[in-house]
């Protein structure tokens, strides 16, 4: 193999340098907006703590819906062939590329005074402009991420293990829990973590469905939006930095969960493979 020249190596390092400057520049620009004392006071403020609690609670509720739906759908798509599978697969991926604001508008019409809103209201369940709306909106965004990761993870498992287990008399549900899920577990768990981080930072769909009411449906992204609009830079920056720390922590966790070389192949949504 011909080694690249020093000049070409330097040219290749330019994109890395530009990206590094951009990322560190964004973080630095946020940090210098307020003094350390102002930032500390903002982090301890009632509004920031409420936004953090709301984000954690709403994302936990969303994941309780998204995890079984995403893993179940991903497993089914990885193990079954049927007419229209490719079309359905593309349709289920739509929330991944759909602008969150458009997803929120659709959910608003679906669960508002429309198709499902009135029947649910008669049952005493209000979703629009309530914390439950944030849960539904975030679950809608997170489920396809988990499904796509789970599908790729299950497809990477040698089907011979499943066939052997079934020959030995294991029921299909036992094959799933005792064979396929343990073998694909690391990649599936990575998808769950990635989806959780996405729900923590979700803004557009949550804003449309749950609204932006202070101390009621105020998640961390909504708190950033509201406080920037009102000129409260301290709280806005503190909430933004909390979100950045969450994202960085997730990326670090995913690096440790990354499959080793020669093991299970990475899924298409694995950050280390992008």
Q: How would you class 168 by CB atoms within 10 Å of its CB: exposed for 0-12, middle for 13-18, buried for 19 or more? A: exposed
**pLDDT exceeds cutoff 60 at 270:** no
Domain membership flag for residue 217: yes
Contact present, 183 and 157 (Cβ < 8 Å): yes
Specify the pLDDT at position 217.
93
Domain membership flag for residue 16: no
Specify the pLDDT at position 177.
87
Q: How many structural domains are present in the chain?
A: 1
Q: What is the pLDDT of residues 148-166, one digit of tens each?
A: 999 999 998 888 888 888 8
Domain membership flag for residue 2: no
Specify the pLDDT at position 265.
44
Q: What is the pLDDT of residues 172-182, one digit of tens each?
A: 888 888 888 88
Domain membership flag for residue 3: no
Q: Higher model confidence: residue 38 or residue 57?
A: 57
**pLDDT exceeds cutoff 60 at 210:** yes
CATH number of the structural domain spanning residue 123: 1.10.3720.10
Q: How does DSSP assign 207-257, residue by residue? A: HHHH---TTTS--HHHHHHHHHHHT-HHHHHHHHHHHHHHHHHHHHHHHHH
Please compute, for residue 259, the number of CA atoms within 13 A of its CA located in the half-sphere on the CB side.
21
Specify the pLDDT at position 231.
85
- Of the listed ranges 45-54, 114-123, 137-146, 211-220, the least confidently predicted one is 114-123
**pLDDT exceeds cutoff 50 at 263:** no
Domain membership flag for residue 123: yes
Domain membership flag for residue 108: yes
pTM of the model: 0.83
Give the structural domain span for 109: 34-273
Domain membership flag for residue 8: no
Domain membership flag for residue 125: yes
């Amino acid at each position: 193999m011909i080694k690249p020249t020093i000049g070409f190596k330097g040219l290749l390092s330019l994109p890395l340098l530009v990206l590094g400057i951009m990322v560190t520049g964004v973080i630095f620009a946020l940090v210098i907006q307020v003094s350390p004392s102002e930032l500390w006071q903002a982090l301890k403020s009632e509004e920031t703590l409420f936004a953090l609690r709301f984000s954690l609670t709403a994302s936990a509720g969303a994941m309780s819906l998204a995890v079984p739906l995403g893993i179940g759908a991903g497993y089914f798509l990885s193990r079954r062939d049927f007419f229209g599978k490719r079309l359905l697969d593309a349709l289920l991926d739509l929330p991944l590329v759909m602008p969150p604001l458009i997803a929120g508008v659709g959910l608003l019409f679906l669960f508002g005074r429309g198709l499902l809103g009135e029947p649910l209201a008669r049952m005493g369940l209000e979703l629009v402009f309530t914390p439950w709306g944030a849960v539904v909106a975030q679950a809608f965004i997170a489920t396809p991420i988990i499904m796509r990761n789970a599908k790729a993870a299950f497809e990477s498992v040698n089907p011979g293990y499943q066939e052997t287990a079934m020959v030995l008399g294991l029921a299909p549900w036992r094959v799933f829990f005792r064979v396929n899920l343990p073998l694909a577990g690391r990649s599936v768990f990575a998808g769950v973590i990635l989806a959780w981080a996405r729900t923590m930072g979700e803004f557009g769909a949550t804003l449309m469905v749950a609204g932006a009411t202070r101390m009621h449906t105020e998640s961390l992204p909504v708190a950033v939006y509201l406080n920037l609009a009102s000129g409260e830079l301290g709280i806005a920056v503190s909430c933004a930095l909390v979100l950045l720390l969450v994202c960085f922590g997730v990326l670090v966790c995913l690096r440790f969960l990354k499959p080793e070389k020669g093991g299970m192949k990475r899924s298409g949504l694995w950050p280390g493979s992008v």
